[in-house]
Amino acid sequence: MIVPFGHLLILAGILFVIGLFCALARRSLIMILLGVEIMLNAAAIAFVGGSLHWHDMEGQTIVLFIAAVAATEVSVGLAMIVHVFRKTGSFDPVLFDLLK
Amino acid sequence: MAHSPCDIWTLPALVTGTGAPFVSFLCTMIFTRRRPRLSCGLSIGAVSISFAASLFLLVCHWGMEAPIHHVGRWLVSSDVNVPFGFLVDPLSLLMLAVVSAICLLVQIYSLGYMAEDPGFSRYYAFMSLFAWAMMSLAVSPNLLQLYIFWELVGLSSYLLIGFWYEKFSATQAGKKAFVMTRAGDVLFFMGVLLVLVHAGNLNIVEINGIRGAEGYSQTIAALSAILIFGGIVGKSAQFPLLTWLPDAMEGPTPVSALLHSATMVAAGVYLFARLFPFFSLSPAAMSLFLAIGTLSMLLASTMAMVSRDIKRVWAYSTISQLGFMIMGLAAGGYFAGVFHLTTHAAFKALLFLCSGVFIHHFGTNDIFKLGAEGSTRFKTPFLCLVTAAGALAGVPPLAGFFSKEAVMGALLEGSSPLWLVPALVGVFLTAYYAFRVIFVIGFPGRSAQTPTAQSRLFPSEEVHGIQAAHYRVMVGPLVVLAFVTLFLGFAQGSLESFLLGGEGRSQGHSGAVHGLVAALALSLAGAGAGMAWWEFGRKGATRKGLVERIPALYRLFSERWYLDHIYRFLMDRLVDRGISVLFLQNDNRVIDGTIDGLGKGTAEGGRLLALLQQAMIQYRLMAAFAVVALLTASLFF
């Protein structure tokens, strides 16, 4: 492996923080979903790196699982967002206060 | 000791004698409520069995030396053992005989009096219950059993006083009797507990065997005696709690007769006699009892002087005679008190039963109306009434004379002969009000004031006519009781030796002083009767009592010394404004506060917990990440 393992982890970390920031700071449901997606991918990069580093295929298996979960999550999440948009006419998460 | 038939049959006689009325009560209540004839037959049969059994026991154990116990274990709690059973001694045998005899006569009388009453079966059931409770009380060997039957006596008198429950005043009177006696019973029960704590058991014979030296301090003895006396005050209608008895006249007249002679009120005096040796441990308490007896006697006599209601006059006289008995007992005259209880049972039952004939016929309780309507037409009842009133007043050959003299003798020998003075005043007042009733009823129409016109407005005979058969049934017991009243006094000597365990106390006091007191009492009784004759009996009498001429005094006496008003006032002040207010605050603040606090606490807690969820979705996400980050950090450090 040409790229050192440490660099990969740093990239994954940076991506995770970017995703976290996106999920926490943006006031839009789509951007929150996007942030979660980025975080998942950051985790996937870390798993791939680890798999190459220790020559163990289990890491790559988990990445496949993550990809599947992410796809599901996006489809369900988008469906919910569409539903919410039809109800409230907005993507603002502040409007979700029915539990109050 | 050889097994004579007496020894063998004592226990069965006790069990059947006291148990038969209870069986009859149960049968009547469960099976024969709709069949009045069967009910009264059952009840009278049961009480006859009791009477026969008590006579048998009395004859068997005449002159017995030591009390006989028949007990079974009933309640054991660590070292406290409460047996249940029978105690046979002269006092309980005498009481058993008196109670069963009076019950039997009253029940026979009721056949006429209560005929055609819709509650006939119920009446006989309650009468049986009453008889059972009182007889079992008489033979109770320990205070707890006595207390149980004591309360049962109270219950059955409540049921009988409020027997005509459609009448509002009757239910009120029943309630009053129940509540007022209960006030005394609370004290009684506290006294019983005190005795239990300090003496270790409740056996009457053992309690009576306590001597001052045996680690039983004088104050505790006095305190428990006074507490137990509280129950006697309630039951026997003594000074602070005496107003329930006149109101108890709302019940049927035979009930009053039973209540006033042998059962309810006699239970109090009986308890005094039962615990007499224990009570006499504390002279201070005895002086208090003497004072209470005296006070009740005088108060009730004055009330009786002005009442126009014949039953109420006799009710007041009961209170005053009970006070007299308690005076006798408290002065140390054990026999005198018990003897007066016995004779009083006979003549007081007679008084009420005679009055019942008139009341039943004329439908009024007013002595002036009874006189104007011509009660003297009923020759036998009127003669019996005169006999009984004579006994009440203490006229020589009658029973009341002997027992009153015995009480006087006890007072003379007691702690201070000064107590004789109120007793003599009481004798005078008693003779006055007893003969006032006789003269008002016996010599009507001698003055213009007789309210004949008024009574014609209310022709109550139509409601209450006596049929000849009923009349005969009612007169029978009267005659029997009149004979008992006539001759019971002569049994004084043998009764005395029986009660005092064969010793036959020697006449310790000087005969001359005693004779003087007797003569004084007799002349005072004569003066009372004479005064009654002067005011009510003689030709052209004003038919207005001495007291009625002084309006203030008259009001005081007829309002019963404002005792009821004082109770009302105290109730308002203490209960309604004092205790109830505290209870209200307790209810509002403590109970409501707790429940409200619980509810509010739950709601507030829910609101607090909801804060975790109701915030914006991203804050929660942030919190989740923060927690994960902290956990991760904790892995490294």
Q: Output the domain CATH number for residue A23.
A: 1.10.287.3510
Q: In the structure, what pLDDT confidence band is assigned to residue B545 with cuts at 50, 70 and 90?
A: low
Nearest to B320 by CA among B244, B239, B231: B239
List, in sequence order, every residue forming a beta bridge with B366; answer none if it has no partner: B309
Q: What is the DSSP letter of B539?
A: T
Q: Would you say residue A93 lies in a domain?
A: no
Q: What's the mean pLDDT in B394-422?
A: 80
Q: Note which residues in 5-44 of chain A have CB less than 8 A from chain B.
A: 20, 23-25, 32
Q: What is the pLDDT of residue B464?
A: 46
Containing structural domain, residue A62: 8-88
What 3-state class would DSSP assign to B85? strand
Q: Would you say residue B425 lies in a domain?
A: yes
* Interface contacts (A, B; CB < 8 Å): 23
Residue B609: closest CA among chain A residues belongs to which residue? A100
Q: Which residue has the higher pLDDT, B444 or B98?
A: B98
Task: Check whether residue B547 and residue B602 sit in a common domain.
Answer: no
Chain A residues lying within 8 Å of B625, measured CB to CB:
20, 24
Question: What interface predicted TM-score (ipTM) does this complex get?
Answer: 0.76
Q: How many domains does chain A have?
A: 1
Q: What are the b/e assignments for A57-91, b being 16+ CB within 10 Å?
A: eebeebbeebeeebeeeeeebeeebeebeeeeeeb
Chain A residues lying within 8 Å of B618, measured CB to CB:
23-25, 32, 93
Q: In the structure, what pLDDT confidence band is assigned to residue B428 with cuts at 50, 70 and 90?
A: confident
CA B181 to chain centroid? 8
């104050």: which residue's tokens?
B219
A94 contacts B625? CB cut-off 8 A = no
Task: Check whether residue B377 and residue B471 sit in a common domain.
Answer: yes
Q: How many domains does chain B have?
A: 2
Residue A98: closest CA among chain B residues belongs to which residue? B614
Chain A residues lying within 8 Å of B616, measured CB to CB:
93-94, 96
Q: What is the pLDDT of residue B69?
A: 77
CA B338 to chain centroid? 15
Q: In the structure, what pLDDT confidence band is assigned to residue B242 with cuts at 50, 70 and 90?
A: confident
A99 contacts B613? CB cut-off 8 A = yes
* Average predicted confidence (pLDDT) for chain B: 80
For B52-77, the pLDDT digits (tens) are 888 888 888 877 777 777 777 777 77
Chain B residues lying within 8 Å of A99, measured CB to CB:
610, 613-614
Looking at chain A, the number of H-run helices and the number of E-run strands are 3, 0
Task: Check whether residue B406 and residue B545 sit in a common domain.
Answer: yes
Alpha carbon of B615: minimum distance to chain A alpha carbons (Å): 8
Q: Would you say residue B616 lies in a domain?
A: yes
Among chain B, residues having any CB pair with chain A shorter than 8 Å are: 610, 613-614, 616-618, 621-622, 625
- Residue among B610, B614, B622 minimizing CB distance to A24: B622
How many CB atoms sit inside 10 A of residue B363's CB? 18
Chain B residues lying within 8 Å of A25, measured CB to CB:
618
Task: Check whether residue B591 and residue B463 sit in a common domain.
Answer: no
B290 near B327, Cβ under 8 Å? Answer: yes
Task: Check whether residue B407 and residue B322 sit in a common domain.
Answer: yes
- Residue among B613, B618, B622 minimizing CB distance to A93: B618
* Chain A interface mutation, best of B621, B627, B628, highest count of A Cβ atoms under 10 Å: B621
Residue B272 is inside which H or E element, if any?
helix B264-274
Half-sphere exposure of A75 (CA within 13 A, CB side): 5
Alpha carbon of A59: minimum distance to chain B alpha carbons (Å): 20
Q: What's the mean pLDDT in B608-627?
A: 79
A20 contacts B614? CB cut-off 8 A = no
Task: Check whether residue B476 and residue B574 sit in a common domain.
Answer: no
Q: Which of B516, B534, B558 is the last residue before a domain boundary?
A: B558
Q: Which of B558, B590, B612 is the last residue before a domain boundary?
A: B558
Q: What is the pLDDT of residue B463?
A: 41
A24 contacts B621? CB cut-off 8 A = yes
Q: In the structure, what pLDDT confidence band is assigned to residue B614 with cuts at 50, 70 and 90?
A: low
How many CB atoms sit inside 10 A of residue B278's CB? 21
Separation in Å, CA B22 to CA A6, B101, B271, B412? 102, 17, 22, 43
For B210-233, the pLDDT digits (tens) are 665 555 677 888 888 888 888 888
Task: Check whether residue B493 and residue B429 sit in a common domain.
Answer: yes
Q: What's the mean pLDDT in B574-579?
A: 77
Half-sphere exposure of B348 (CA within 13 A, CB side): 31
Residue B399, both tokens:
């029973």
Q: Would you say residue B135 lies in a domain?
A: no
A98 touches chain B (CB under 8 A): no
For A26-57, the pLDDT digits (tens) are 888 899 999 999 999 999 999 999 999 998 89
Separation in Å, CA A45 to CA A8, A31, A49, B632? 7, 21, 6, 19
Task: Check whether residue B389 and residue B449 sit in a common domain.
Answer: yes
Which own/partner pairs from B525-529 qualify as long-range (CB within 8 Å, at least 24 positions apart)?
B525/B393, B525/B394, B525/B395, B525/B427, B525/B428, B525/B430, B525/B431, B526/B431, B527/B428, B527/B431, B528/B393, B528/B427, B528/B428, B528/B429, B528/B430, B528/B431, B528/B432, B528/B434, B528/B435, B529/B393, B529/B431, B529/B432, B529/B434, B529/B435
B65 near B501, Cβ under 8 Å? Answer: yes
Task: Check whether residue B597 and residue B472 sit in a common domain.
Answer: no
A84 touches chain B (CB under 8 A): no
What 3-state class would DSSP assign to B177? helix
pLDDT over 70 percentage in chain A: 94
List, in sequence order, every residue forming a beta bridge with B68; answer none if it has no partner: B88
Containing structural domain, residue B610: 566-636
Residue A84 pLDDT more than 80? Answer: yes
Q: Which of B504, B532, B558 is the last residue before a domain boundary?
A: B558
Range picked from A8-22, B72-86, B216-230, B603-617 for highest mean pLDDT: A8-22
Q: Would you say residue A72 lies in a domain?
A: yes
Q: What is the pLDDT of residue B504?
A: 46
Q: Would you say residue B258 lies in a domain?
A: no
- Residue among B613, B618, B625 minimizing CB distance to A32: B618
* Rg over CA atoms, chain B: 30
Residue A100: closest CA among chain B residues belongs to which residue? B614
Half-sphere exposure of B460 (CA within 13 A, CB side): 17
